[in-house]
């Protein structure tokens, strides 16, 4: 299933923290940038506007671009006869949906309902066009002042010998002009310069803006001012002296200021904030500002277009005050705060404030794995290396460790049961600390399926559940033992990463999907890839409203509880049904789609309605109730083009039918939904009246083709919709007529039918005679084609897993080996070593001899490594570039290092004179094994660190990671 996302949260204005709704800080908006590499004709964005139909239009020095959310369509003077020039200065949308486009050479064009009409050229570059309430056109000209056009379209000057930049009309019909000489007020075509007596200092005025309250705002070389009671008052003293080029008021009544060289400022209830190139802007020179209908802020710079939006997910990171970005656990507290445990410390978030919680006795930062709250509101902490700890009066104090009762210092799960006994899940077993301080230990001898404890939870009946790396178990308080709840073999599940109790059900997030277990009946079922889940490995489940929220390494999944239960209750009836889901990732505001698991709680529901997720880059939070409102936003649909047999056909915007010639055999309709947040995830439906009167789901496809339509009249209709939302009344249609040849008329068809009846009888006799011969030929052809297809499939399969240059297995093959074998070696307590090898100073070979010589060197090294592989039963793969990886089953790192040392010497001593004179090659190895790590990603990281050490220590050596 294609990932879907309700991506219009930004229209629901404030973001929420743990306790209250606040504006998102300017630097924490989700940002995207487009430039010439994205399809724009030029990086200087002179003007950016949105027309009534929903399109975003961008004026540059190299043409006009229209953006539908997926791609830019470019318009230049050579293509559009009504376009004044390719160098465009300003765009001015009108209430009737039309658009005025003005050029650098004085040209003006009017685009209305798809038709371009050139206006009379002005005397100089047009910086701005204003159509006043009396339907007159006023022009702000570069070097030629201000002019208006009379009934004969003759330009009448009101101001001369200056540059005018911006015009605006107030509620009384007066026109205000920002110019190089300052601000002018024009009444009855008479201009008056505003002097410093009014509070406005001398100097150029670059932009004017009429606020939603009808208040004039002016900005220029020395700052920005409001017009209040016939005087100009500085908007903010911090802006005084800053050259401001553009002004915008957003739907929160915040003011945005684009500057000449200092980026963007926003003045809101959060105060005056700044966003510049150091915080992600493509450039500090701001040329234009826009808030679109979805409330995104578009910033036109001389380095491209930058867009800010409030995404469905917001993130708390080190940048916003967390101790570290690698977050493992989140705990919503009963006092409304949220506690965050990361690899480098503990934090408490309340409102928009972040507090760091440190050790009472100074020491190295703690690596936090788990959190829990007791009945008194105290927070307990499970750490990676320091055992169990507790927060008292804002400081962290040790409670228990391996030295005084715990089986391990690695505490991944904590739970207080109904008797207020504290269960402590560690890497080597489970401990229970009773209120009187008694500590009991539970291992496989007491019924646990495994001793690596990942998760703990209470079910609806008060039973304690433990999740391990080899299954789950429920504690029997009477017997004082655990009863293993084995996953059926067909589930192929092992890890129980997280639990969610719901009445008589216990839901388990596993490495093969979502497991549902009925505590009363013992019935068990799994929701996995077979039912439509896009990922196998799930870490945590949080229920909110009618949805389940599931964390994974590929993002956050939202599924409907009702559909999940229907699929699990009736697996046979639901065989042909697929799970409908939404997958949220980096495009929705998450800084990393990798949610973390193996610690608890890794995700949790907060009392304010938000859900918090631990990720590899901060903690991500979402407010689900706000997402439901997104589908109510109006979504325009447009038909952009029609191609007939590969040739573009003009669309009729006047309601008339499009007449197509006889023989039109292939019709292609291109359409779009004008949402700019994540338009690639919109859904579309089409129908063709005269051919098919029912809606056809096109999913995310934006093109529909029809072939071999009969002559006649048809109406093509398309509508766009948000994922999982109701279809809106936003359909667009065009009607066309395919004309017919004479032989397509009814009379000709009747005569042809009679002739065909006679011919058919003759052909019948002929075909009967030759049938056997044809059947034999076809059978032989099918056999040959089947053989050819099999050979081609085998070749493709080989190419997918082998490097083209060396014919060695590639990185994908190596990752598969490692992933498939790592768990087996760990479970059997067998060593497994890997090595990453890098050719030393390979760039010098490419630069000194050539890339061809470099490729030959790579092939020689690959051959030498392959010889070792045949002798030593190791696996070898080309990792990429000049890097190779070696896989040593049943070997420790030290044993593998001996093999690598032999290889290093063999390669260093190898005679390469037949490739190039004076050419020698050395290599460096980084070696690690599985004895000290619990996942293959960490094993790779340790080998990579060892390789880095080898390079730092002079190269041409073998380094073993001993951490």
| Residues tagged active-site | 882
Extract the tokens encoding 755: 């002739």
Helix, strand, coil tally for the chain in percent (to 5): 20, 40, 40
d(CA 924, CA 487): 45
- What number of helices (H) and strands (E) belong to the chain? 8, 72
Extract the tokens encoding 768: 């009967």
3-state SS, residue 629: helix
In angstroms, what CA-CA distances link 699 with 1, 498, 682, 686, 719? 10, 33, 8, 10, 11
Do 835 and 888 form a contact (C-beta atoms < 8 A)? yes
Residue 444 CB coordination number (10 Å) = 15
d(CA 372, CA 604): 12
Do 57 and 68 form a contact (C-beta atoms < 8 A)? no
Q: How many CA atoms lie within 13 A of 943 on its CB side?
A: 33
Reference 303, options 7, 538, 35, 685; nearest CA is: 35
Extract the tokens encoding 224: 């920005």
In angstroms, what CA-CA distances link 599 with 340, 364, 430, 498, 590? 12, 21, 14, 9, 20
d(CA 284, CA 290): 16
In angstroms, what CA-CA distances link 789 with 777, 792, 793, 800? 18, 5, 6, 16
3-state SS, residue 254: coil
Neighbour order of strands in the sheet with 958-960: 875-880, 883-889, 832-839, 923-929, 958-960
Question: Whose structure tokens read 């439906």?
Answer: 685
3-state SS, residue 304: strand
d(CA 210, CA 169): 8
For 326, phi and psi rounded to 5 degrees?
Answer: -85, 95
Extract the tokens encoding 408: 């391990």
Interacting residues of 42 by C-beta distance below 8 A, sequence separation 6+: 36, 60, 61, 62, 63
For the chain, give the number of residues.
Answer: 963
For 455, phi and psi rounded to 5 degrees?
Answer: -145, 150
Could you give the angle at which helices 811-827 and 936-952 cross, rounded to 10 degrees? 120
CA angle, 619 then 620 then 626, to 5°: 150
CA angle, 611 then 617 then 619, to 5°: 20
Largest pairwise CA distance in the chain? 107
3-state SS, residue 383: strand
Reference 339, options 327, 350, 331; nearest CA is: 331
Do 238 and 230 form a contact (C-beta atoms < 8 A)? no
DSSP 200: P
DSSP 780-844: HHHHHHHHHHHHHHHHHHHHHHB-TTT-SB-HHHHHHHHHHHHHHHHHTT--EEEEEEEETTHHH
Extract the tokens encoding 953: 């220590």
d(CA 614, CA 451): 24
Given CA atoms 201, 206, 210, 211 in this order, what sign does their dihedral have?
A: negative
């Amino acid at each position: 299933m294609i990932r879907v996302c309700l991506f219009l949260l930004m229209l629901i204005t404030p973001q929420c923290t743990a306790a209250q709704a606040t504006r998102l800080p300017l630097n924490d908006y989700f940002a995207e940038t487009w430039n010439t590499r994205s399809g724009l004709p030029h990086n200087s964005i002179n003007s950016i506007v949105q027309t009534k139909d929903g399109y975003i239009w961008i004026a540059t020095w190299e043409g006009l671009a229209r953006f539908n959310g997926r791609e830019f369509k470019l318009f230049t003077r050579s293509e559009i006869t009504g376009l004044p020039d390719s160098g465009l200065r300003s765009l001015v949308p009108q209430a009737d949906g039309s658009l005025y486009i003005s050029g650098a050479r004085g040209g003006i064009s009017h685009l209305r309902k798809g038709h371009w009409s050139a206006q009379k050229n002005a005397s100089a570059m047009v910086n701005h066009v204003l159509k006043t309430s009396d339907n007159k056109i006023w022009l702000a000209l570069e070097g030629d002042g201000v002019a208006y056009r009379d009934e004969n379209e003759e330009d009448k000057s009101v101001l001369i010998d200056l540059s005018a930049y911006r015009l605006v009309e107030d509620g009384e019909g007066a026109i205000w002009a920002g110019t190089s000489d300052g601000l002018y007020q024009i009444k009855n075509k008479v201009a008056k310069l505003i002097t410093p007596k009014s509070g406005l200092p001398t100097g150029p005025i670059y932009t004017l803006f009429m606020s939603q309250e009808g208040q004039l705002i002016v900005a220029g070389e020395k700052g920005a001012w409001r017009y209040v009671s016939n005087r100009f008052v500085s908007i903010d003293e911090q802006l005084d002296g800053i050259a401001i080029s553009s002004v915008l008021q957003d739907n929160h009544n915040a003011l945005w200021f684009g500057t000449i060289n200092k980026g963007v400022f926003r003045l809101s209830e959060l105060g005056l904030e700044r966003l510049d190139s150091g915080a992600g802007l493509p450039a500090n020179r701001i040329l234009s500002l826009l808030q679109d209908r979805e409330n995104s802020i578009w910033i036109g710079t001389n380095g491209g277009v930058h867009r800010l939006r409030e995404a469905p997910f917001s993130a708390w990171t080190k940048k916003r005050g967390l101790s570290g970005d690698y977050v493992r656990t989140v705990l919503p507290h009963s006092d409304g705060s949220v506690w965050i445990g990361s690899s480098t410390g503990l934090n408490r978030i309340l409102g928009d404030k972040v507090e760091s919680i440190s050790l009472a006795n100074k020491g190295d930062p703690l690596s936090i794995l788990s959190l829990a709250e007791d009945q008194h509101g105290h927070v307990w902490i499970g750490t990676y290396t320091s055992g169990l700890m507790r927060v008292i009066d804002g400081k962290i104090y040790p409670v228990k460790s391996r030295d005084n009762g715990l089986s391990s210092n690695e505490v991944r799960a904590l739970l207080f049961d109904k008797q207020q006994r504290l269960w402590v899940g560690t890497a080597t077993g489970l401990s229970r600390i009773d209120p009187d301080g008694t500590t009991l230990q539970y291992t496989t001898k007491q019924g646990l399926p495994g001793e690596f404890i990942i998760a703990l939870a209470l079910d609806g009946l008060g039973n304690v559940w433990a999740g391990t790396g080899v299954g789950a178990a429920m504690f029997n308080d009477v017997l004082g033992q655990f009863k293993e709840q084995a996953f059926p073999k067909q589930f192929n599940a092992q890890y129980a990463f997280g639990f969610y109790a719901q009445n008589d059900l216990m839901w388990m997030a596993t490495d093969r999907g979502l497991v549902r277990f009925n505590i009363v009946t013992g019935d068990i079922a799994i929701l996995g890839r077979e039912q439509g889940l896009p990922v196998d490995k799930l870490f945590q489940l949080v229920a909110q409203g009618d949805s389940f929220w599931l964390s994974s390494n590929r993002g956050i999944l939202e599924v409907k509880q009702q559909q999940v239960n229907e699929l699990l209750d009736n697996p046979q009836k639901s065989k042909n049904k697929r799970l409908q889901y939404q997958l949220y990732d980096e495009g929705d505001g998450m800084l990393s789609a990798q949610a973390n698991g193996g610690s608890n709680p890794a995700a949790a529901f907060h009392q304010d309605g938000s859900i918090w997720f631990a990720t590899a880059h901060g903690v991500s939070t979402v407010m689900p109730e706000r997402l439901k409102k997104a589908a109510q936003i109006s979504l325009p649909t447009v038909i952009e083009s029609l191609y007939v047999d590969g040739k573009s056909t003009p669309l009729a915007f006047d309601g008339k039918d499009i007449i197509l010639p006889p023989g039109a055999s292939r019709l292609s309709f291109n359409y779009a939904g004008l949402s700019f947040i994540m338009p690639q995830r919109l859904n579309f439906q089409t129908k063709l009246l005269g051919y098919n009167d029912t809606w056809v789901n096109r999913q995310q496809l934006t093109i529909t083709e029809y072939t071999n339509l009969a002559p006649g009249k048809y109406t093509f209709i398309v509508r766009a919709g948000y994922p999982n939302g109701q279809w809106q009344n936003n359909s667009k249609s065009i009607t066309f007529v395919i004309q017919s040849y004479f032989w397509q008329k009814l009379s000709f068809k009747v005569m042809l039918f009679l002739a065909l009846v006679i011919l058919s009888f003759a052909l019948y006799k002929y075909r009967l005679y030759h049938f056997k011969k044809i059947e034999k030929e076809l059978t032989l052809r099918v056999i040959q084609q089947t053989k050819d297809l099999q050979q081609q499939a085998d070749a493709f399969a080989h190419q997918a897993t082998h490097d083209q240059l060396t014919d060695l297995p590639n990185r994908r093959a190596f990752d598969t080996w490692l992933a498939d074998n790592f768990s087996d070696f760990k479970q059997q307590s067998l060593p497994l070593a890997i090595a990453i090898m890098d050719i030393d100073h390979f760039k010098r070979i490419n630069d000194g001899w050539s890339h061809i010589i470099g490729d030959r060197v790579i092939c020689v090294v690959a051959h030498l490594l392959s010889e070792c592989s045949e002798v030593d039963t190791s696996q070898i793969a080309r990792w990429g570039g000049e890097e190779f990886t070696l896989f040593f089953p049943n070997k420790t790192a030290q044993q593998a290092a001996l093999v690598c040392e032999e290889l290093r010497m063999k390669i260093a001593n190898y005679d390469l004179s037949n490739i190039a004179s004076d050419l020698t090659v050395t290599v460096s190895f980084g070696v690690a094994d599985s004895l000290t790590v619990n996942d293959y990603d960490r094993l790779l990281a340790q080998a990579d660190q060892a390789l880095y050490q080898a390079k730092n220590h002079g190269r041409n050596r073998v380094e073993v990671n001993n951490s």
